[in-house]
């Protein structure tokens, strides 16, 4: 098994929303905001190469939205999903499975593309797309709080294509080395896959720990629908991570992609900053 980092570029989100109740005087040292209070975040994905399988976890923002939409989030950077795959010698047609942690636009926007005649089609024509029934129902009948994050054009064409399958919590149906754990504080039934790579367990943190700065328990996003549940889920996973010597892979940290963890007097904190290529 080989693990690859897939950079799809950067975007901006409000710093206060990303750090919740943590005061700006503290969080601005971790991710300096611009004059509009917007901070830069990565949209980092993971590619798992295992035998005949080529599994992509999440797929970034995509490029099919209109200029008004993009003006809110300011996507930028030289990297793209296509460029990152090509750099590794792959194309989108090589992907066998797309595992979507959840269906917020910055995680699944790249799943669907718009053709020159305006049709919405899967960007990965040969792939099976994976979600779970609870989250799919949540995303396709969105609450008012999350409605702006669940865009129909990113979601419904997946099912219409016939390429959608559902997996259950705890399942290894996609690959025996990928355990599909669930967290529901950020949004209902978000996957937080645990990847077994040799003697290492790598947690794809999705939006449970969007960045390394979110390791301390109080650092919970204002976007989370159930922040107290997020606190419990963070504590549980951190306890497991210390016991199992897990590594955390961060989707949104603008600099750090991977770290090890250590127990300190202040709680669990990062130990060593790493890259997948270091493993």
What percent of the chain lies above the pLDDT cut of 70?
100
Q: Mean pLDDT, to the nearest integer, of 46-61?
A: 97
Do 129 and 165 touch, CB atoms closer than 8 A? yes
Within-domain flag for 155:
yes
Is residue 267 one of the residues assigned to a domain?
A: no
| Cβ atoms within 10 Å, residue 250 | 25
Chain segment 90-111, per-residue pLDDT in tens = 999 999 999 999 999 999 999 9
Residue 119 lies in a domain: yes
* Segment 2-28, tens digit of pLDDT: 999 999 999 999 999 999 999 999 999
Band the pLDDT of 232: cuts 50, 70, 90.
Answer: very high
Q: In Å, how far are 28, 129, 155, 159 from 162, measured between CA atoms? A: 45, 9, 12, 5
Q: Is residue 25 part of a domain?
A: yes
Q: Quick one: pLDDT band at residue 258, thresholds 50, 70, 90? A: very high
Comparing CA positions, the residue from 194, 200, 198 lying closest to residue 179 is 194
Environment class of 103 (CB within 10 Å of its CB; exposed 0-12, middle 13-18, buried 19+): buried
Q: What is the pLDDT of residue 77?
A: 96
SS3 assignment, position 82: helix
pLDDT of residue 169: 93
Q: Which CATH number fits the domain that encloses residue 193?
A: 3.60.15.10
Could you tell me the two tokens for 241?
Answer: 């991570």
- Give pLDDT, residue 142: 95
In whole numbers, what is the pLDDT of the chain averaged over residues? 97
**Tally of domains in the chain:** 1
> What was the pLDDT predicted at 239?
98
Helices (H), the chain: 15-19, 24-27, 67-73, 81-87, 105-108, 133-140, 152-160, 227-244
Residue ranges making up the domain that contains 57: 2-207
What mean pLDDT comes out for the span 61-65? 94
CA atoms of 60 and 45, how far apart (whole Å): 7
274 within some domain: no
pLDDT digits (tens, 9 = 90+) for 140-186: 999 999 999 999 999 999 999 999 999 999 999 999 999 999 999 99
CA–CA distance, 216 with 119 (Å, rounded to integer): 44
Tell whether 233 is covered by a domain.
no
Confidence of residue 49 (pLDDT cuts 50, 70, 90): very high
């Amino acid at each position: 098994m080989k693990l690859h980092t897939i950079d799809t570029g950067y975007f901006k989100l409000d710093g206060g929303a990303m750090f919740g109740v943590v005061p700006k005087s503290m969080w601005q040292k971790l991710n300096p905001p611009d004059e509009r209070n917007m901070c830069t975040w990565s949209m980092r994905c993971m590619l798992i190469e295992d035998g005949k399988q080529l599994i992509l976890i999440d797929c970034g923002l995509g490029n099919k939205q209109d200029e008004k939409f993009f003006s809110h989030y300011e996507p930028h950077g030289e990297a793209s999903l296509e460029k990152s795959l090509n750099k590794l010698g792959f194309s989108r047609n090589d992907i066998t499975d797309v595992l979507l942690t959840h269906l917020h636009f910055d995680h699944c926007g790249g799943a669907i593309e718009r053709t020159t005649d305006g049709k919405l089609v899967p960007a990965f024509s040969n792939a099976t797309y994976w979600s779970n029934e609870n989250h799919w129902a949540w995303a396709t009948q969105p609450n008012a709080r999350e409605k702006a994050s669940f865009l129909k054009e990113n979601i419904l064409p997946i099912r219409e294509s016939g390429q959608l399958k559902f997996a259950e919590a705890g399942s290894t149906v996609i690959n025996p080395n990928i355990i599909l754990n669930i967290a529901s504080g950020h949004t209902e039934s978000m996957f937080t896959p645990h990847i077994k790579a040799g003697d290492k367990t790598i947690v794809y943190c999705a939006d449970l720990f969007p960045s390394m700065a979110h390791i301390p328990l109080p650092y919970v996003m204002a976007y989370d629908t159930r922040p107290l549940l997020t606190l419990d889920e963070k504590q549980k996973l951190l306890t497991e991570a210390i016991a199992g010597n897990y590594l955390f892979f961060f989707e949104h940290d603008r600099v750090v992609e991977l770290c090890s963890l250590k127990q300190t007097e202040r709680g669990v904190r990062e130990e060593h900053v790493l890259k997948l290529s270091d493993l």
